[in-house]
A and B are shown apart, each in its own frame.
Chain A
Amino acid sequence: MATDNLLSGLLAGDTDPAAISGYTDHPPRMGFFTDTSVCIGCKACEVACKEWNHIPEDGLNFTGMSYDNTGGLGADTWRHVAFIEQRKPIAGQIAGVQHAEVGAPAVDDAGSELRWLMASDVCKHCTNAACLDVCPTGSLFRTEFGTVVVQEDICNGCGYCIPACPYGVIDQRKEDGRAWKCTLCYDRLQVGMEPACAKACPTDSIQFGPLEELRERAAQRVERLHEAGVTDAQLYGHDPNDGVGGDGAFFLLLDKPEVYGLPPDPVVTTRDLPSMWRHVGVAALTLVVGVAAAFAGGRRS
């Protein structure tokens, strides 16, 4: 039983999701490291993902908010490039410096502080994945690579995974009723190819590889950026001790996560489920006692 493995795995302090899910001989956990500091917002990842996975059109909408007309992740958008224009200087760019002492014309300092943030968002392939936990059909499953994938021939469109995801990733495809999301190109992984988005990324902002390796590389990258004066640079989803046990797809961001539409401290909802079941049990007993007492106190007929 998967449940037995899950429990024994968790009790043993195991954090390898494939091993917890019962794979004995499996490849290393694979994932994405999306370094947004080198993202140029070209959206090649969005296009490559749609082409490879044959994803239908996700609405030719005009959001009117920025250069981003995709909006966010959903059933038909498995990579989403966020675009943020800010009145903040890029590191190393000293904005608003006046050179009045040498007679140079003064410039209104507010005008020269500008930066663009671009970040390609994707399913996080959580270590503790709420979508997978709550799926009642077993349609969502853990692959041997430690990723989380929907089996579309099983999904009955109950929709439970959608509000369970703390990142707003998975959603229902209206035309066919089922839930869809990034598979981390499970088909490509099985034949030793990297996912379509990472393959197409021209700046290597999307890096694919064994998660351990990516985490080391990311730690070095953020350190180098800090040395270069980019003090805003921070890793997101890299920590195995966070509320979802660490993400299989993690990020290097240049601002707070919520600026990119990411939750600052997501927690897998099923962490509280044991307590929820206890409250349900006590409430059910309360109902029995209350209704029974209604008879004990009411012998008036």
Chain B
Amino acid sequence: MSTSDVTKEGIKGAQPGRDAMVGVVAGRHDGRRRHRGRGEQSMVPDATFSSYYGKPVLNAPIWKAPDIAGYFFLGGLSGAASVLGACASATGRPSLAKASKIGALVSIGLGMVGLVHDLGKPSRFVNMLRVFKPTSPMSVGSWALAGYGPAVGTAALTAVTGRLTRVGAVATGTAAAVGPFISAYTAALMCNTAVPSWHEAYREMPFVFVGSSATAAGGLGMIAVPVGESGPARNAAIFGAMLELAAAQKLTRRLGHPLAEPYQKGKSGALLKASEALTALGTVGGVLLGRRSRAAAAASGAALLAGSALSRFAIFEAGMVSANDPEHTVRPQRERVNVKSTGQ
């Protein structure tokens, strides 16, 4: 076999053939080369990692962003809107209650269409209710949706028609009880994978998601309801924005290099920055103008909804980047192994 390399600078490592040196000269030559070689090696930074031709270790999720990131947003919006709607009902704000309940129904309906559409075999969507597995957030979520969907539907219909108020109250209560779980469980669904930038963020991600959900539901209220009645919606949006931004900050700080990078750089990082800008804009707009101008309140609400949606798409995209980068999988694990082996 040939042991030489053909490089752009010519052939390297070829057998010296007729030019081979003999005797003492060859020995000295060899010694010098070796010395220089070691010197060069020490210049190589410690930051290298091994991989198989730079190929990803993991198989990336096959989920499509419009369906799944879209569902994370719509489900979150629906869950928080159900809580907002129930509180509005309880405190005698019928228009905020009605708008929130309709919003919750429409968003969960659209979200579930996305979920079924994303399946490889959509005709088999009922198989989701074939077993109940607490080890699978998708299974738990499917069962929660099976209870949540009818409750949201009943709550919205009774709010619109004004009939069966007692049934409506029970449905509203059920939707508000399950809703927060619908907003939060998708974080566990996503983090319960081997995708490093998702998995390692599992502590903060549910707070990012519920914060973002409250922001969206508040934004929806600011669009749908006159300024006089949308005070709680504004407050909910402020609470959500602060929670989301704080949780996201903590998340990126704890992940560090390299797992936080998809949240800071590239397309996913740009999406997250855009999301944070929209959320900040909507919040400031809501605080300053939300009480005075209906148009300004609606525009702020729209910015908050867009910010919330973008946040999920950014986080979704960050996971794709992380899954496809072998360094994300290898480096933290290699460091763990090295610590283990030196610790013993």
Contact = CB atoms under 8 A, between A and B. Distances in A.
Interface string A269-301: 110110111011111111110111111011111
Interface stretch (A20-28, A48-56, A156-164, A219-227): A156-164
Nearest to A177: B120
Contact of A137 (B59, B130, B238): B130
Contacts of A169: 59
B13 A71 contact: no
Nearest to A63: B53
A137 B131 contact: yes
Given A159-B63, A258-B49, A269 B193 contact: yes
Interface string B22-53: 11101101100110010000000000011111
Contact of A295 (B57, B58, B87, B142): B87
A50 B340 CA distance: 39
B55 A72 contact: yes
Nearest to A283: B206
Interface string A236-251: 0000000000000000
Interface stretch (B102-110, B167-175, B183-191): B183-191
A234 B2 CA distance: 28
Contact of B87 (A160, A259, A291, A299): A291
Contacts of B334: 256, 258, 264-265
A297 B91 CA distance: 12
A74 to B, nearest CB: 7
Given A98-B27, A136-B133, A168-B57, A284 B181 contact: yes
B256 interface: no
Interface string B53-65: 1011111111100
Contact of B243 (A155, A284, A290): A290
A135 interface: yes
B14 interface: yes
B1 interface: yes
B3 A298 contact: no
Nearest to B291: A300
Contact of A158 (B1, B26, B80, B128): B128
Contacts of A256: 50, 334
Interface stretch (B228-236, B263-271, B294-302): B228-236
Contacts of B189: 160
Interface string B235-253: 1101110010000000000
Contacts of A137: 124, 127-128, 130-131
B105 to A, nearest CB: 18
Interface size class of B (residues with CB under 8 A): 35 or more
Nearest to A262: B57
A98 B330 CA distance: 38
Contact of A294 (B34, B206, B236, B337): B236
B184 A280 contact: yes
Interface stretch (A37-45, A105-113, A194-202, A207-215): A105-113
A107 B15 contact: yes
A159 to B, nearest CB: 4
B119 interface: yes
B138 interface: yes
B130 A288 contact: no
B163 interface: no
Interface in A151-193: 154-160, 162-172, 176-179
Contacts of B61: 159, 162-163
Contacts of B202: 272, 275-276, 279
Contacts of B4: 111
B323 to A, nearest CB: 6
A3 interface: yes
B16 interface: yes
Interface stretch (B153-161, B208-216, B305-313): B208-216
Nearest to B237: A294
10 contacts: A82-B52, A98-B26, A107-B16, A136-B139, A164-B194, A178-B120, A258-B52, A258-B57, A277-B188, A283-B187
Given A261-B57, A280-B187, A291-B232, 15 more contacts: A65-B53, A106-B16, A109-B34, A137-B124, A137-B128, A156-B120, A157-B120, A159-B62, A162-B59, A163-B61, A177-B119, A266-B194, A279-B206, A299-B91, A301-B228
A-B pairs, 9 with minimum CB distance: A157-B120, A177-B120, A261-B52, A106-B26, A294-B235, A283-B206, A156-B124, A111-B13, A284-B180
